[in-house]
Chain A
Amino acid sequence: MSRKSWHLDRRTLLRGAGAALALPWLEGMTGRVLTPRALPKRLVVTYISYGAYMPTGPSGITDLSKPHHDWSWWPCRDPGPLTFNKSSQPFAALKDYVSYLQGLDHAGGHKLGGHSSGDVFATGADMANLEKTNNISIDQVAANTHGKKTRYASLVLGTEGGTGSYGHAKTLSHRGPGKPIPSLHKPRDIFDRMFRPYAGRQLADVRKELASRRSVLDIVLEQSKDLDRKLGKPDQRKMEEYLESVRDAEKRIERIDKWTHVPMPEVDASGLRLDVTAKQPEDYMRCMYDLLFLALQTDVARYATFMTESEQSTSHEVGNYSNYLLGYKGNTHDISHKRPKDISGRWDQWRAKQHAYFLEKLRGAKEGDGNMLDSTVVLWGSAHPHQAHNTQNYPIQVAGGGALGFAHGKLHRFVGSDKVPLANLFVSMLNAVDVPVTKFADSTGPMTELRKA
């Protein structure tokens, strides 16, 4: 395992919440100048549910004949340079780091109800017809190519945890058809998995155990092949699915084993409130974003998804956020149907504030000649606008990635003959992090609009 120049020294100490401030000092500690070439390129997808408030264009396309609404999710009405309204105010200071894209969506999600379309936000799969068990998500495509370079190939976060089920996803990430990756939602659990993977055991013991697990899996694999031969064709397919998970498990053991030779960054959790629960929305959300930031900063992972709400959060604490925060009488989900004037915009603004907090953190962290946001492309959005059941023209914001070729500061409209699949953006995002794909889901090419001149 070659040691990348940005790897943190063993003795490097990061302070949880204060980590952003600590970074320049940290860079000094590595004793090396970071060249742009060596900088990690990162990709993050985050999700908000139940659409957003768009009073002058509820189907996701702003009505250009009406004055722009203060509380519309879209920061401004006209395509071109961004100005910010009340709803998007938290991003005003990040003007040159964000773009808004109107009129994009996944055709695969059109036939799914608004409560299911979140499933395909990061995958673009045609779940209504051909890909009923979904398909690989953008972060996993990247992880398959470069995931080996970090301790974890990717980081999958959510607020509700687990996978959910088809049409009710509680994760954005999928390894492939029928393989949703459970999202992690307990801060303490996330922290321990990221930074305390050996749970205080001696490395020698960890390695011994890994070796044993591997030989045991070999035996399982061997016996499974016996079983396989006795089965009919369709059953062999199911068996193959099982074998694949065993092989994946073996690969992962190999991988963990390799990483036991690389020192763990030591991270001090004292600045983080890891025991915060979903009952305290703002603290909780910030803690999750802090952890995400910390993972990127320590280069534990470079690709991440974070489903900040699922489309089925009504049975979860998250469904009460608008109640706790804004005193809304009802479940957060109701906002999308009733669109109360005084609440809808403030709810969007609260969500924007949390996401902006994360972007600001990335921007505040110096890295190479720029900051971390320059080499991190962050997608933020939802798989439907505000209109009930409508799953077209998503609210989409792209941030960061200035050093990866993205140019920002504008609202782009993809309407009528200009309309392109959202997957085109995915192709460009993947290309930006050095994943040389030409196609993703229903894409028709890369997206040129955000390309730096």
Chain B
Amino acid sequence: MQAMPLPQPIGIPLVVLASIFAIRAPRCQEPVEPTFAAVAQPFFATHCVRCHCEDKQKGDISLTAFTAGPTTGKEAEQWELVLEMLRSQEMPPEDEAQPKEEDRIRVANWIDRELKAFVASEEAAGSGTTTRRLTNFEYHNTMRDLLGVDLQLTDNLPEDPTRPYHSNNTAEFLLMGLEHLDRYGENARRALASVIVDPTPPDPKKTRQSWAVAQQRGMPDPTNMQRDEIGVFGNRNRTVANGMRVFEWPDTGTFRIRVKASAILPPGTNEMPLRIMLGHDIVGVGVSGLSPALSVGTLRLTNRIDEPKIFELTGRIENFPSKPEHRYRRGGRIDGRLVITPPHFTVTPVNVYDDGTLNDRPDPLTKPRAVVEWMEFEAPVNNGWPPAYHTRILFDSPLRATDEMAYLRAVLGKFLPRAFRRPVTSEEVDRYARVYKLVKEQLGLKTLEESIRETLATALISPEFLLHTNGRGHEQHELACRLSYFLWGSMPDDELFELAQRGQLRDREVLAEQAVRMLADPRANDFVANFATQWLALDKQRAVPINLERFPRFLHTIARGERRGQEVPNRPTVRETMQAETIAFVGELIRRNGEVAQLIDSDFAVLNQRLAAHYGVAGVQGHELRPVAVRPEHHLGGLPTQGAFLVGTSTGTAPHPVYRSVWLREAILGDHVSDPPADVPALEESAGEEAANAVTLKDLLRIHRTKQSCRDCHARLDPWGIPFEQYDATGRFAPRVAPAGTRISGFDPNRHKDLESYGSYIAGLATQVVDATARLPNGPKVDGVAGLKRYLIDERLDDIAENVTRRLLSYALGREVTYRDRYAIAELLRKAEPNGYKLKDLIVSICQSDLFAARTNK
């Protein structure tokens, strides 16, 4: 028997309807006793079992097995699904006979009551474990906040499991094995070597180089770039663009880079970004390692050459490629001998100005240039010795000289409660004092610093540090951790610890105050970035191979040589910027306490110059992303018009309506769309002979849908993706395309002269208005994204709000949200609905909810 998995929408309870129905269906209208046999069975027999029976379990649901309401968790899940289907009227399918409205409501209400009763009876069972290890993201942040130094410590950890649209902190999937423990150990030792320093201050090493040119110079420079200038390209050897080599540096410590710089700004521009890279040489071939150099920061140059300024950046030296490779100097033979440059760091300033036309190979002199008079690299730099992060752990105390073990116990008594995020007992302090003695003797360690590093490293591989545990009698501290890991992805700060210590965290007012305070903290950006990336599957777009012949301006590519066509390294890319755009957009809405509806449509977009150029918004300068008001003619606003989504759901050449539909249904509407069954033929093959004639994916899908086996899924999938056909593979609004059958050639410099005229060539071909109209399943006909957005806001806002709530809640709790939580979620939504589901308020009320705050070990 063929079992064709259907998309299984879950999680669309219409909460508002639920409460209305509850009122409209008083018991007196039900003459018979509401039992399974009286209410559900006859309905199923008439409307459902033809497809959902033992033999033919469409959507993996069989309704013939039921003889009563839910009696087990597994059944409850299925019942919830049936309830959703009835409430949303997705089932029975539109082309089947429809039940009478009152019957449908009666059955739905009966299921709802049964489910509610079951959930109530099952309360004690709990919702599974939330004990889990820290995610890599949490591990990095916790180490940073615990030790006071921001070190890159997750590169060597096994990746956390990810599933698109789901948060990666689900306890069920966060497993731990030997490799984790191994690397946690390595990392702890590495970090403590940086944090616990030796008593003698190290000698700072300074490297400085000057490129100043004597002669005066006007603007524009008529001849060529000087050796102190950095153009977007066209830079030469032995200029500042090659960077400054540093031959001496310490293994650990803070470095400082100072740059005296100004900008040559052509008319119409008033700023340019200069990115400072540190690591291997990057100019020329320069890409021998996998991560040759990393960005230290980006300077915003608005000052002109007559007013140079000194800029300063700092960072930790451990976070940059530590063993720059031996490299051959260009033309590296002197007197017939190969000359090898000794190992070195290179500080390289890169002009990352990008107005979207760089692939047009404009004259670099027409673009902004940076002028760097000198650069200076110094490490380690310290404000006093030992540094503050060291004394936070190994504080000054007279005990240190008089009673080593008493001092050690004092140190542990301060460090362990922070590391374990709860009060510790004196036995626990004893235990680590034992570790101290042991390592000191066995390893023959001479100094207190050496022994304390080993001791604390042990604490950092202990389960108390690595695992989140709940229900061990520290409710206040556990709650402080839930808050801090939810909104910061890190350990609680002193204020939260203090409140927990005083037992004040359960107070709803205090919880609200804290949540608001925490959201205003810069650490909340980590939460937004982490949450949005997972919820909206934002990194998918990074891997989509863009057809550069068709979209020759999208990426900034290398123009010639054997690496021609590859992306220019060491520059911010449009893709990165798109991901940052969506993260900043979500963050901005939370900051503004915006409404859920604004996720769908907003009167602003978050842009910088490069993105604005890409989307066709004039007048945005500079590298920083910021909210920019948009007008209707920009066709921007809300998540559905953002590149991170649109590129991620394209093929790189064309939009892919199925991918876009899946994204909309999963990420926004909260449906679950099953993967395509393993045995489906590829689109091209199912279309058979007609495939050759079908030009667009939309046509292919139309043919695909005519096959019965394909139709069940695609009839409910494709319409959601069709309105997005107005946006091309790179996320730009493109309402016209070339008519079917037109041959479009890729960019060819011989034929099209330059990119500008290629653009006109494409525009000339695009004569046909894209058909972006679709009739939505169980919904109206919509035209284009504007129509779709209107429908989503007008008709589906409750579903979207529920989905956002569920995603947030699942992220906050570190577990899947199940049927058990549906009534708690309904309560959250009931509270948020009158204000239009404001996002910050929603987060605050999640923090106050019983699910989150009153939980012991559920």
B162 pairs with A315, CB closer than 8 A:
no
Residues of B within 8 A of A267 (CB): none
Give the CA-CA distance A168 to B163 in the complex, in Å. 9
B463 at the A/B interface (Cβ < 8 Å)?
A: yes
CB contact between B181 and one of A110, A133, A249 (< 8 Å): that residue: A249
Give Cα distance in the complex from A319 to B543, angstroms: 9
Report the separation of the CA atoms of residues A132 and B172 in the bound assembly, to the nearest whole angstrom: 10
Whether a CB of chain A sits under 8 angstroms from the CB of B177 is yes
Contact pick for A248, options B128, B131, B175, B178, CB 8 Å = B178
Q: Are A235 and B131 in contact (CB under 8 A)?
A: yes
A67 CB–B CB distance under 8 Å? no
Contacts of A329 in B (CB 8 A): 549
A131 in contact (CB, < 8 A): no
Q: Is the CB of A230 within 8 A of B435?
A: no
Q: Is the pair A390, B679 in contact by a Cβ cutoff of 8 Å?
A: yes
Q: How far is the CA of A219 from the CA of B433 in the complex (A)?
A: 11
Cβ of A231 within 8 Å of any chain B Cβ, yes or no, is: yes
A72 to B168, CA, bound (A): 40
Within 8 A of A (CB), among B236-290: 287-290
Report the bound CA distance from A317 to B291 in whole Å: 12
A175–B543 alpha-carbon span in the complex (Å): 29
B181–A178 contact, CB under 8 A?
no
Cα(A391)–Cα(B677), bound, Å: 10
Interface status of A238 (Cβ within 8 A of chain B)? yes
Judge whether A21 is part of the interface by a CB distance below 8 angstroms.
no
User: A162, A245, A333: which contacts B159 (Cβ < 8 A)?
Assistant: A162
B132 touches A389 (CB 8 A): no
Neighbour of A166 across the interface among B161, B182, B458, CB < 8 A: B161
* A167 B462 Cβ-Cβ under 8 A: no
The reply to whether the CB of B129 lies closer than 8 angstroms to some CB of chain A is yes
| In the assembled complex, A198 has its CB within 8 A of some CB on chain B | no
A365 to B470, CA, bound (A): 57
Cβ–Cβ contact A216 & B439, under 8 A: yes
- Contact indicator B676/A389 (Cβ below 8 Å): yes
CB distance from A152 to the nearest CB of B (A): 13
A178 B175 Cβ-Cβ under 8 A: yes
Q: Does A387 contact B (CB under 8 A)?
A: yes
Q: In the bound complex, do residue B176 and residue A219 qualify as a contact, i.e. CB atoms below 8 Å apart?
A: no
B471 contacts which of A170, A177, A232, A320 (Cβ < 8 Å)? A232
Does B682 reach chain A (CB closer than 8 Å)? yes
Chain B residues in 8 Å Cβ range of A177 = 175
Q: How many A-B residue pairs have CB under 8 A?
A: 174
B447-470 vs A, CB cutoff 8 Å, 1 = contact: the mask equals 000000010001001111011011
CA distance A230 to B471 in the complex (A): 8
Stretch in A141-149, A204-212, A286-294, A428-436 with 4+ CB within 8 Å of B: A204-212
Contact A232 B857 (CB under 8 A): yes
The smallest C-beta distance from B6 to any residue of chain A, in angstroms, reads 14
> Contact between B678 and A389 (Cβ–Cβ < 8 Å)?
yes
Residues of A within 8 A of B131 (CB): 231, 234-235, 238-239
Counting CB contacts under 8 A, is B434 at the interface?
yes
Listed stretches A12-20, A275-283, A346-354; interface member: A275-283
Which residue from B470, B676, B680 sits with its C-beta under 8 Å from A235? Answer: B470
Bound-complex Cα distance A277 to B181 (A): 28
Q: Is there an interface contact between B161 and A212, defined as CB atoms closer than 8 Å?
A: no
Distance A342 CA – B439 CA, assembled complex (angstroms): 64
Q: Are B129 and A166 in contact (CB under 8 A)?
A: no
Please list the residues of chain B having a beta carbon within 8 angstroms of any beta carbon in chain A. 126, 128-133, 158-163, 168, 171-173, 175-182, 287-290, 325, 428, 431, 434-435, 438-439, 442-444, 454, 458, 461-464, 466-467, 469-473, 542-545, 547, 549, 566, 652, 675-682, 685, 857
23 contacts between A and B (CB under 8 A): A110-B678, A133-B175, A162-B159, A163-B158, A165-B160, A168-B162, A178-B177, A179-B179, A181-B179, A208-B443, A219-B431, A220-B463, A224-B462, A227-B463, A234-B126, A234-B129, A235-B129, A245-B181, A252-B178, A275-B325, A314-B545, A329-B549, A388-B682
Residues of A that sit less than 8 Å from B by CB: 110-114, 132-133, 162-168, 170, 175, 177-182, 208-209, 211-212, 215-216, 219-220, 222-224, 227, 230-232, 234-235, 237-239, 241-242, 244-246, 248-249, 252, 275, 277-279, 312, 314-315, 317, 319-320, 329-331, 333-334, 337, 387-392
Q: Contacts A179-B179, A209-B443, A234-B131 given; 7 further ones with Cβ under 8 A?
A: A165-B160, A224-B462, A235-B470, A242-B466, A312-B543, A315-B543, A319-B545
